[in-house]
Structures are given as structure tokens and as C-alpha cells.
């Protein structure tokens, strides 16, 4: 069942979303060659706590950290560690926050120093795909219109959309209905209504869309070990354009 949120509830999610946005901004400041992903995790937890939030991922289904830090071929759910990021890497950072009784979730992919032309294009196309999806999150559209526009943009640029992981509803739980694939035919699924809260998150691979999970049970990597990028926003469906709740 998809829940329509009141303006008051959306206001609470917006507060959680601002903490997410502040934390991602802090991550971008600290993400540089030589820094460990465990250090980034510590900074994120401090930023979330300072702003009155709680790390939504920490302890969720046993996940051991505050952020997901996914380097290069890691698609999602990279566990922060003593690995030092290096010049030429790309780093995807996923942050979830609970504020009061409500959640928000967002992700970004950043370049560490100078990166290849292909990596630059991958990051750009993935972020563009996110906004193509958001543009279609309007009352009267169908859920798959989001999915189809993401897939079309990604594949027209020579990349592939991950199928194993999808976007989702969000609100009083970090994951709620509906699931939002980043692929599929348009004009299918439920019609969107004002008050729906969605976490739209294209995950895009340089090569094949296939992924595998490493022995830690969390880290998802591309099977061909080529690069992957990830962008995400929590949005509210509104009359007219969607409202991005995880933007500063």
C-alpha cells in the first residue's frame, strides 16, 4: 500500500532530508586521495548527530556502518573500511537519516582527483538520469514513466542500468512501497499522486548490468569489475514539479 503524506509529515521528512544533504556536502569536502572510507563514516556520523538526526543505515538488517561507501566497481553497500581512496577513483556515498519518526535517503558519486573521460561521463549520465526520473514524478504519471526515462537516458549513452537494486518509497520506514525499478516500459504501474514520497536512485554500470555480492553479504560489485555510479534523492510528488527533499 502506498501512503500519501500530509504537509506536516512531508515537513518532517524535509528536516531529515536536510540533514542528509548537509552530510553529503560534508562528505564531498572530506573525500580526497589518502582518506579512508572509515574516516568518512566517522565524519558522517558526527554530522548527523550534530544536526539532531540518527544514522538510518547503522544496524539496519545488521549493516555495520553509518554510510555506504562504494569505490569504483562497487555498485552499492560498500562497507567503510581502512581502504584509502586514491586519485583516479570514483566514490559513491549513500546516506540515510532518521529525524524523529521519519526517514530520508540520498546518494552521490564524486571524483577523486583526475579521473578518466569514461568515468566523468558515467557520473554525469547517472546524475542526469536521476533528474530525468524526477521530472516524471508528477501526479497522473505512472510509476514506470520514472523507470523508462532513466533507462532510456542511460542506454542511449552506452551504459547499463542495474536491475538487482531499485528505488523505493520512504517515510516512517527507510524502505516502503512502491519499488521503483530503473528500467521498464512506460505507462505501467500505479498512477502517481500528490503526497507520495519516493527515493529515486539510478545505479549505472560502465559495462554489463550484472552484479554479485561479496562474502561480507553486503558489498555489491559489477561482475565485469568495470565502474559503477549511483545518485539518489528523496522526493515528494506534488502538483506540478516534484519537491526534492534531500537538496540544500
How many CB atoms neighbour CB 224 within 10 A? 14
**What digits encode the pLDDT tens for the residues 191-222?**
999 999 999 999 999 999 999 999 999 999 99
CA distance readout (Å), 103 to 2, 188, 233, 242 = 16, 27, 12, 18
Q: Can you list the alpha helix ranges (DSSP code H) found in 179-248?
A: none
pLDDT of residue 2: 85
Q: What is the CATH number of domain 7-244?
A: 3.90.230.10
Q: Give the integer Cα–Cα distance in Å for 36 and 15.
A: 29
**What digits encode the pLDDT tens for the residues 128-180?**
999 999 999 999 999 999 999 999 999 999 999 999 999 999 999 999 999 99
Question: Is residue 1 over pLDDT 80?
Answer: no
Q: Say if CB 189 and CB 203 are below 8 A apart.
A: no
Question: Would you call 58 exposed, middle or buried from its count of C-beta atoms within 10 A (0-12, 13-18, 19+)?
Answer: middle
Question: Is residue 87 over pLDDT 90?
Answer: yes
**What digits encode the pLDDT tens for the residues 20-37?**
999 999 999 999 999 999
Amino acid at each position: 500500500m502506498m501512503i500519501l503524506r500530509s504537509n506536516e509529515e512531508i515537513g518532517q521528512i524535509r528536516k531529515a532530508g536536510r540533514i542528509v544533504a548537509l552530510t553529503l556536502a560534508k562528505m564531498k569536502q572530506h573525500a580526497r586521495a589518502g582518506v579512508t572510507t572509515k574516516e568518512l563514516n566517522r565524519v558522517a556520523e558526527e554530522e548527523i548527530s550534530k544536526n539532531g538526526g540518527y544514522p538510518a543505515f547503522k544496524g539496519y538488517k545488521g549493516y555495520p556502518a553509518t554510510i555506504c561507501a562504494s569505490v569504483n566497481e562497487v555498485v552499492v553497500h560498500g562497507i567503510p573500511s581502512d581502504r584509502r581512496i586514491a586519485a583516479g577513483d570514483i566514490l559513491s556515498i549513500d546516506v540515510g537519516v532518521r529525524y524523529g519518526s521519519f526517514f530520508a535517503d540520498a546518494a552521490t558519486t564524486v571524483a577523486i582527483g583526475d579521473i578518466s573521460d569514461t568515468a566523468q561521463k558515467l557520473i554525469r549520465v547517472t546524475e542526469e538520469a536521476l533528474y530525468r526520473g524526477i521530472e516524471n514524478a508528477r501526479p497522473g504519471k505512472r510509476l514506470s514513466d520514472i523507470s523508462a526515462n532513466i533507462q532510456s537516458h542511460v542506454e542511449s549513452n552506452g551504459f547499463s542500468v542495474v536491475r538487482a537494486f531499485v528505488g523505493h518509497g520512504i517515510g516512517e520506514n527507510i524502505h516502503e512501497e512502491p519499488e521503483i525499478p530503473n528500467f521498464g516500459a512506460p505507462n505501467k504501474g500505479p498512477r502517481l499522486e500528490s503526497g507520495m514520497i519516493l527515493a529515486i536512485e539510478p545505479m549505472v554500470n560502465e559495462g554489463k548490468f550484472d552484479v554479485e555480492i561479496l562474502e561480507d553479504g553486503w558489498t555489491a560489485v559489477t561482475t565485469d569489475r568495470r565502474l559503477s555510479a549511483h545518485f539518489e534523492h528523496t522526493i515528494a510528488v506534488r502538483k506540478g514539479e516534484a519537491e526534492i527533499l534531500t537538496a540544500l
